[in-house]
Amino acid sequence: MNNNSTFIDKEYENILQNEIKENKKEIFSSRYKEKKVWVKKARATLSLKSHRIYYKIFSIEILLEVENKNARQTILYETNKLNKFRTLGINSPKIIGRNEDFFVLEDCGKNINSYIRKRDITKNKMYYFINKLISHLANIHNCDQFHGGAQARNFTYNDGVIFSIDLEESFNENIDLKILQFRDFVLFLLSLTKTRASFELDFQYIIYTYINLSNNHDFINRLQLMSKKMSFLTSLSEVGFINKFLGRDVKIFFKLFKILKDLK
């Protein structure tokens, strides 16, 4: 039988043990005791080589190298962090059980993107979600934590409450917490550039609301510094040859950079 299992219901664990062999998806919803749950399979966390190279050249926090972990280390890291978040009062799913091959989470509602990426979303609704997201992220940072994958898709919404999910990314322990929090904030802003709403988002409002709640006032300077580095990159990216060389994930920075340039 499986080692290091925390499942109380062994029968359910056995059923899932077979199901994960048949289900090709890495994460899928299922049911347990009449309730919806999420099953996440073990998989390794690997740093992208391209990110490592770009980070060495440009030192842009968002390209910070993630810590390589094997599948079992990743499960331990993510489930421990979910538990830690909950003890600190940061909303995140309860763990129904974990072993070395998979873990099961209670359902925490729908992914926030399914609300904010709607074309016909009203301004009122958009800022309802954005304000909640900002306070959730600021709460994580005020508890001296970081999310690690703070894109909108890694938060869910249920009954007026935002939850953090997908906490698998870790970083070298020597990296300053403020850098990881800044990275969170940039990932969060970047993910908001992808809305399909009929109106422009007020990034100045979003940035200052977060800063007032988190007291991370120096993030304005960091954002401006990042935008300076980006301006160098933008000119590089306009050179056809280099444009081909830059990955898609790097190109998307330019969109946010244009917004940051206009920050007052």
Ligand X SMILES: Nc1ncnc2c1ncn2[C@@H]1O[C@H](COP(=O)(O)OP(=O)(O)OP(=O)(O)O)[C@@H](O)[C@H]1O
CA gyration radius, the chain: 20
By a kind-dependent CB cut-off of 5 to 8 A, residue 107 interacts, out of ligand X, Mg ion, none, with ligand X
From the CB of 82, what's the least distance to ligand X, in Å?
9
Residue number of the CB closest to ligand X reads: 166
From the CB of 204, what's the least distance to ligand X, in Å?
27
By a kind-dependent CB cut-off of 5 to 8 A, residue 97 interacts, out of Mg ion, ligand X, none, with none
Q: Based on CB atoms, which residue is closest to Mg ion, 74 or 154? A: 154
From the CB of 94, what's the least distance to Mg ion, in Å?
18
By a kind-dependent CB cut-off of 5 to 8 A, residue 71 interacts, out of Mg ion, ligand X, none, with none
Using CA atoms, how far apart are residues 165 and 173, in angstroms rounded to an integer?
21
By a kind-dependent CB cut-off of 5 to 8 A, residue 190 interacts, out of ligand X, Mg ion, none, with none
By a kind-dependent CB cut-off of 5 to 8 A, residue 229 interacts, out of Mg ion, ligand X, none, with none
Using CA atoms, how far apart are residues 209 and 103, in angstroms rounded to an integer?
35
Q: Based on CB atoms, which residue is closest to ligand X, 58 or 81? A: 81
From the CB of 149, what's the least distance to ligand X, in Å?
6
Residues near ligand X, by CB under 6 A: 26-27, 38, 40, 93, 105, 107-109, 111, 149, 153-154, 156, 165-166
Amino acid in position 106: E
Using CA atoms, how far apart are residues 236 and 231, in angstroms rounded to an integer?
9
Q: Cα separations (Å) of 141 from 90, 137, 147, 170? A: 10, 6, 8, 15
Do residues 182 and 148 make contact, with C-beta atoms less than 8 angstroms apart?
Answer: no
Q: Based on CB atoms, which residue is closest to Mg ion, 62 or 259? A: 62
Residues near Mg ion, by CB under 5 A: 154, 166
Residue listed under structure tokens 């280390």:
73
Which residues are within 8 A (CB) of 131 and not within 5 positions of it... i.e. 6 or more apart?
209
Do residues 150 and 115 make contact, with C-beta atoms less than 8 angstroms apart?
Answer: no
By a kind-dependent CB cut-off of 5 to 8 A, residue 93 interacts, out of Mg ion, ligand X, none, with ligand X
Q: Cα separations (Å) of 157 from 92, 144, 195? A: 11, 23, 17
Using CA atoms, how far apart are residues 184 and 120, in angstroms rounded to an integer?
27
From the CB of 43, what's the least distance to ligand X, in Å?
8
Q: Based on CB atoms, which residue is closest to ligand X, 141 or 147? A: 147
